[in-house]
Structures are given as structure tokens and as C-alpha cells.
Chains A and B, each alone.
Chain A
Amino acid sequence: MKTSTKKLSKQEMIESKPNKIIMDTLANEPKVWIIHLIATFIVLAIMYWSKGAINFRGIQSNGVVIAKNIFTGLINPDWSLLLNLTRQGIPFVLMETLAIAFLGTFIGAILAIPLAFISASNMVSKHFTWLGVFIIAAIRTFPPFVYGIMFIRVTGPGPFAGVLTLAITSIGMIAKLYIEAIEDIDKKILESLDASGCNTIEKIRYGILPQLMTNFVSTVIYRYEINIKNASILGLVGAGGIGAPLIFAMSAYRWREVGAILVGLIILVLIVEYFSTAIRTKLARG
């Protein structure tokens, strides 16, 4: 190492004699590399700390077999279950998942409206926006599945609990996006409506709603897409949807059934995602 630096400086002398200003500029190079080094060190330290807890006890003795079974189940699912149109079939559970997500999103989207209006800085005095913001933060405190467990105490196990869970957990994100849309409102239109003699309700109907509508609809559709995935895990806590049959099939080691459920879920999510993206792009382009 030492010899190479020596060599280099010799080479410098021979090749060029850099003037003083250049050498000064070189010496003034900001020392960003120190920050980078510290950041890298911190990340490595955190990684090392985390490593301690990940006790890899090796793949379970039959883990490889199970992985293989799930994979073959995915490739060759239980078709009779996938195409079974009765209440035991996958299409029914998927419909149920769609319905849970739909009602949950719908209720959440409606509850979020008043919350968003009292939290938008251009609608209420700055001193009151904290209330809405606090409510949103408070709701977000609990993970969704905790709400699921709590609502099961209210409604008993089943999709109803799922609906309530999704309604509550959707409020936070939907309200947040609503607030952004409301704060972007062009208030000049309201002035011109004032000038033409509109009352408050007419101002909201013709001045505010048209500006918010596309944005709100787009938000709700996006949340619906997310809620499909959320609805599918609620079954794991007994709150309806496709999660429950999945957990049963897995604990009974019925891998082709597992495959059929996963295939159904994948197709459902892909279809919803496709339409959601298509509608939202159309809305964005007007």
C-alpha cells in the first residue's frame, strides 16, 4: 500500500506540477465520505444486532416436502373446489371477500369525510385541525387484526366483524388523502359563485364537490384494492373472507386445496388491481 502511494506521488511530480490553487481546492474537498462511513457503520451494527434474533434452526425436516407440495398445489390446484359454485366453493369465499372489502371501504370512506373536513387547514381554523389529526393518529395506533379481535366480541365471528374492522382501519389513510385534496381546493370558484348569489349548500354542491369528486373516488378505489388484501387475512382471526378456509386447509395438509385458494386469491387481487389502475388512470386524465 505504502509503495503504491509513493509511486503515485512520484508520477504526479513527473507528469504535471499542479498549481497551488488546484492543490488548495483539492484540500478543501468536503469530507462527505466520513458521513457515509458512519452511516454504513451504523447500518452494519444494526444488522449485526438483528442477526442475533434470527435463529435459523434449519428448514423443518418435512419443510422441503411441504414447500414442494404447496408449489405443486399451486400448479395443479383442486379444480373442483375452484369451480365449485356452492357456499363451500372458492368463488363464494372470493365473493364474500369482495363484499367485506366493499362494505368496509364504503363505510370507512363515508366516515372519513367529516374527519377530513375538520382536519383540513383551509376549512377550519388552524387551532382546531389538531383534533382530526389526533383522531386519525389514535385510530392508526392499533394494528388491523387487533380491531378484528375486538369486533368479533361485538358481532361474533364472521364477515360482519371483517367489515367493521376494514371500515375503522381504512379511515386513517382515506382521511389523509382526502385532506390533501381538500387543501388543494381552488377557492376562487367559491368567490365567483358568491358573486352569482349562491347559498352555502349550493356553493358546496357546485363549487367544492366537483373539485373533490374525482380525487375522492380515486382514493376510495385505491383503498379498496388494499382492502381486498386486508380482507383476505382477516379470516385468520375469524373475521370472514378467504383466510379461514386457507388456514383450515393448511392445518389439514390438504395442499391441492391450499393451492386452489391461493390461485383464487392471486387471480382476484390481479383483476381488482387491473381495474383499479385502469379506472384511476382514466380519472386522473379526466
Chain B
Amino acid sequence: MINFNKVSKVYPNGVQALKDVSLKIEQGEFVAIIGLSGAGKSTLLRTINRMHDISSGSLTVNGHEVNKLNGKALRRFRRKIGMVFQSFNLVPRITVIKNVLTSRVPDLPLWKSLIGLYSKQDKIIALEALDKVGILEKAYIRADQLSGGQQQRVALARTLAQNPEIILADEPVAALDPVTAGQVMDDFKRINKEMNISVIINIHHVDLALKYAERVVGIRAGEIIYDGPATEVTEEILTQIYGRKISEDELMGA
């Protein structure tokens, strides 16, 4: 369970990214966070695995007080939280399976990961993860030779090979075309349902958020404006979140 209790975040340059955010997310939920760019979506997501620190309030994830975690404990905590990025963040020039295997690196001695000496068990885990996102046959191809959608699936497989309890996805489909975006969202949905992994996803496209998520959190200028089932999101609520009517580019038509 993720529990935000009156969390605020002020950046060193004085920008207040989060204001008194209180939010509870249960294990296995599929939550979409929507809002304008700059509203604090990305900050909210990144406080969960402490890629960003919070300024005040308290944040607990599965019983851990996130802001008290440091060094080794923080890294062990992060092993249970997968993260997927807008730009995929794969290592170019190496193969797909090696990219997936990088998620095993924290458990390996350094010299083994440097010369790429992974155990058979690790390789099987990686291949199974690739199989779950349907690109097993690409395992030995260089990651930078794949299409955007395939690369995002590799990133998802990397996260799965970590065996996470939570997946944080920061605009995972923003760089993809509508059809591919839909396929990647299907993958997220399936993983969420079959493996009971919580999925928290920042998303720019309202229609995809409403279609795939059970729960929608709308934020505006660092504050939660709406928090409820996706089915109950109305035109007025969206207008409130976005401060205006929804424009075409926020809809993907998937």
C-alpha cells in the first residue's frame, strides 16, 4: 500500500510541485494520474521510489517510511518497485536480453555484470519476462534496432524481471503512435490483472487513462483535484483538472 499523508514538495528553485497531497493506493490497483504538464504528475510518481525527496508530510510504501530510507536500504526498497520511462531508457548497443538482465545487476558481484556473466536462472527469468510482453523472438537483437513500441516492451520486461510489487510508469506511451500505445497499455493492464502488481501511470492522453485505469487521480498545480473511479470522470471534472476544455491532442483515439 502506498500512503501519501499531506505530502508537499518544493524544489530548490522555489517551485512548489506538490501541495498537501494525501492519497492511498492499495496493492493491485491500476491508477492513472492525469493533469497538465508541469502540474506535478512526474514529481508525484518519483517521490514513491525516492527519485525525488519530499519536503514535508509523510509517505509510506508497503510499510517503509520512504524519506527515512538511505543507501543500501533504499536500493533494496527500489528492487521491489519497477519504473518505466517515456524515453524507454534502454542501454543502446547491447542486446534486448542484456537490457532485461540489467535488472538482475544489483544482486550480482560487480565483475560478473561487467563481463556479462549471468546465471542460467537469470537468463530464464529474463526470457520469461520477454515472453510475457510478447517479444521473446527479439531477445538477441540490439535494443536500439527495435521500434519504439518494442523498446517500451523491453523496458517493461526489464521491470518484470525485477519481480516488482509496484510499477511506476512515467508517460510510457507519449512517444508512441496510437496503435502501439494501445498495445503497450494492454500489456500494462494484463500484467496488473494477472500478477497483481500495482500500476501507477502518468499519462497525458485522457482517453487512454479512462479506458485502461480503474482509478483516476487528477492533479492541477500540485494539488489533487479529483480522485475516484475512471467511470465517474465527467466533462466538468476534466475541465477542472485542465483548466479548459480537452483539446484534440490530449485524445489519442485509441
Contacts and interface: CB of A to CB of B under 8 A. Distances in A.
Interface of A: 8, 11-12, 16, 18, 21-23, 25-26, 28-30, 33
A25 B128 contact: no
A18 B140 contact: no
B131 A21 contact: yes
A16 B128 contact: yes
Interface stretch (B80-88, B119-127, B197-205): B119-127
- Chain B: interface secondary structure? helix
Given A25-B136, A30-B140, A8 B121 contact: yes
A26 B123 contact: yes
Contacts of B137: 25
A18 B136 contact: no
Interface in B118-161: 119-121, 123-124, 127-128, 131, 136-137, 139-140
Interface string B75-117: 0000000000000000000000100000000000000000010
Q: Is chain A's interface secondary structure helix, strand, loop, or mixed overall?
A: helix
A21 B139 CA distance: 12
Contacts, number: 34
Given A8-B121, A22-B131, 7 more contacts: A8-B120, A11-B121, A16-B128, A21-B136, A22-B128, A26-B124, A33-B116
Interface residues of B, number: 14
Contact of B127 (A8, A12, A25): A25
Contacts of A18: 124, 127-128
A18 B122 CA distance: 12
A25 B120 contact: no
Contacts of A25: 127, 136-137, 139
Contacts of A21: 131, 136
16 contacts: A12-B124, A16-B124, A16-B128, A18-B128, A22-B127, A22-B136, A25-B127, A25-B136, A25-B139, A26-B120, A26-B123, A26-B124, A26-B127, A28-B140, A29-B140, A30-B140
Contacts of B127: 18, 22, 25-26
A82 to B, nearest CB: 47
A41 to B, nearest CB: 14
Interface centre among B116, B124, B131 (most CB of A within 10 A): B124
B57 to A, nearest CB: 40
Contacts of A33: 116
